[in-house]
A and B are shown apart, each in its own frame.
Chain A
Amino acid sequence: MQRTDTAPKPVSMPKLSRETIVNIAVMAILLALPLWASSIGEDYYVNLASLITIFAIAGVGLNFAIGQGGMVSFGHAAFFGIGGYTTGIAAFHSFEETLFVAMPFAISGTNQMLIIWIVAMVICGIAALAIGAISLRTEGVYFIMITLAFAQMIYYFAISWPTYGGEDGLSIYLRNQLPMVDAESALTFFLVCFILLLGAIFVSARLSGSRFGAALGTARMNETRLATSGIDPFPIKLTGFVISAMITGLAGALFAELNGFVGPSMLSWHRSGEIMVFVILGGVGRLYGPVIGAALFVLLETYIGEWTQHWQLLLGLALLGVVLFARGGVMGMIAGRARHD
């Protein structure tokens, strides 16, 4: 190898895109603030950060369906709520020491979060398989309305089913447990949520970069083209929808733990709208967009809510402003257009 210059080349940092810098900054702030708040004994702010993190996970789930698959689901509250109710029902039976199912084989409740998470995600996956199998036969505005209607169906079911609280919801008296760590501690619970958020983003990123993700992205842009290349779009989209629902369901399970309560409001269509707001406020299809969206939403709600009880009016105006004038959301404003557009 011939080298003409004798001086060693300076080791340069890889050039980071502006979006990457924003992502790193956002995650660093989200991690640092609760650590600091916990060190001065302000658990309130730690829980606020947990809430942001949980909403962000829900948003990452929906973002996979909308941003990658082009499936505008207006019913993700269904999965958020199913995840929450799984937690609530498992804890209820564990607390009461009763069986969830007695026949044909006994299933008891549990207070182990790891088991609950897996069960919650599996149930959400099955629900999404059923809802998706019917909804994905349609497209466009029909798909939006059908997912909304299915979520309403589950909402009314939860309201009118008296065993688990009906309209009043279900309290979780003791937070469920994790092996080796103390999940009761606000900071530990935040860190658990944070790690799961990183996990959700990682899964979403790896899937988007995989062959499956490429097929799903093509299904969003041009289904016919995907079909002519020999891949049936329907199972690809259904799989994407199921994965998206499972991630959102995990967020629901965490939300129930954080609040110590599950109720029908987790399933309401306002919740579906809010999860959609996280995605769009941050920027559709941006991996870390939902984190920004959820953070803005929670901070707006908390701080404007302290100042005036009519915070929803301002939220509405802010949202309208973003949709009409800042296409691409906050990430679009800071970091420019997404690469893949």
Chain B
Amino acid sequence: MTAALIFEQVLNGLQFGLTLFLMAAGLTLVFGVMGLINLAHGSLYMVGAFCCAWITQQTGSFWLGLGGGVLGAAAAGALIEMLVIRRLYDRDHLDQVLATFALILIFSEGTRMVFGSMPLYLNIPAALGGTMALPGVEAYPVYRLFIILAALAVAMLLYLLISKTRLGMRIRAGESDREMIAALGVDIKTLYTIVFALGAAIAGLSGALVGALRSVQVGMGEPVLILAFVVIVIGGIGSIKGALIGSILIGLVDTLGRIFIPVILKFFMENASANSIGAALSSMLIYLMMAGILAVKPKGLFNATN
């Protein structure tokens, strides 16, 4: 157990956490502005990954694919917002959960009809394929660093968009009082569609980026979706700052837990049981952490609607 290994795992945890942030940002934005709980967010992540993989296969260019993934997810988001989601804003959470659960079924089965059940493979672009030396780490994959930087850039852009632009001002106004900004003449319907499509685009970006690390397949969005829920519950629903901190926390705790819990347990017990108990414990760790945080702060760490 060296310092280099720990540093490498911290980077991995950061990368995992920041891809979670890209999911959680859209979820928390949509909840904060429209009060909607959207289970189909994971489907938009999947749409982004599939668009990216397909366009990359057709054109040979990962960058075109990445753009296509973002646009495809945004378009799918705008479409379902106008067809379905729009009717759910006034409903209770139960109806929202069920309708978006239905959307997951439709998206998953629709994707399976188009692309089949076999996973697609998306290669890391050649320019980002190698490894590079970092202080203490001899060879760290460049692509993972790229994901970290891209996600941080998105977080920065999102911050600027929301705090410095007219659109961001309207989004913030929509969060605090939607009737009032409608009365002030802002086209609230279009605003909602834009916010939803924005969240979808970020989810699609996340799917496309992660798709090159893992396989692109139906159902890939659901584990990420649930982790993103844990993130926004910990961070406080509606708070983008909370989502950023929550996702980095989850990414680090999950990644480091999986590496270090079995190691620590080996001091107390034999290897075989340390491995199995360690695996069970580390897969539950983030949920235990969530339970602990909520037992103390039932509305998350940074509640926006306080």
The count of residues in chain A whose C-beta lies closer than 8 Å to any C-beta of chain B is: 41
Please encode chain B, from 293 to 306, with 1 for each CB lying within 8 Å of some chain A CB and 0 for all others. 01100111000000
- Residues from 322 to 341 in A contacting B, C-beta threshold 8 Å: 323-324, 327
- Contact partners of A323 in chain B: CB under 8 A: 95, 98-99, 102
Q: Does B213 contact A (CB under 8 A)?
A: no
Given contacts A146-B233, A280-B94, A320-B103, contact A152 B295 (CB under 8 A): no
Given contacts A72-B94, A146-B294, contact A324 B287 (CB under 8 A): no
Main secondary structure of the interface of B (DSSP, over half): helix
Given contacts A72-B94, A276-B97, contact A320 B299 (CB under 8 A): no
In the bound assembly, the distance between CA atoms of A237 and B214 in angstroms comes to: 43
Given contacts A142-B299, A316-B109, A324-B87, contact A150 B103 (CB under 8 A): no
Whether B287 and A320, one on each chain, are in contact in the complex, defined by CB atoms closer than 8 angstroms, is no
Whether B298 and A138, one on each chain, are in contact in the complex, defined by CB atoms closer than 8 angstroms, is yes
Q: Does B189 contact A (CB under 8 A)?
A: no
Query: Which residue of A is nearest B99, CB measured?
Result: A323
Whether B98 and A277, one on each chain, are in contact in the complex, defined by CB atoms closer than 8 angstroms, is yes
- Residues from 85 to 144 in B contacting A, C-beta threshold 8 Å: 87, 93-95, 97-99, 101-106, 108-110, 112-113
Q: Does B31 contact A (CB under 8 A)?
A: yes
Please encode chain A, from 157 to 170, with 1 for each CB lying within 8 Å of some chain B CB and 0 for all others. 10111110000000
- Contact partners of B103 in chain A: CB under 8 A: 316, 320
- Contact partners of A319 in chain B: CB under 8 A: 98-99, 101-102, 105
Whether B288 and A142, one on each chain, are in contact in the complex, defined by CB atoms closer than 8 angstroms, is no
Given contacts A157-B284, A320-B106, contact A310 B112 (CB under 8 A): yes
Whether A324 and B226, one on each chain, are in contact in the complex, defined by CB atoms closer than 8 angstroms, is no
- Which of B98, B222, B237 interacts with A276 by CB under 8 Å? B98
Whether A273 and B101, one on each chain, are in contact in the complex, defined by CB atoms closer than 8 angstroms, is yes
- Contact partners of A320 in chain B: CB under 8 A: 84, 99, 102-103, 106
- Contact partners of B75 in chain A: CB under 8 A: none
Query: Which residue of A is nearest B228, CB measured?
Result: A145
- Residues from 114 to 157 in A contacting B, C-beta threshold 8 Å: 134, 137-138, 140-142, 144-146, 148-150, 152-153, 156-157
Residues of chain A having any CB pair with chain B under 8 Å = 66, 72, 74, 134, 137-138, 140-142, 144-146, 148-150, 152-153, 156-157, 159-163, 269, 273, 276-277, 280, 284, 310, 312-313, 315-317, 319-320, 323-324, 327
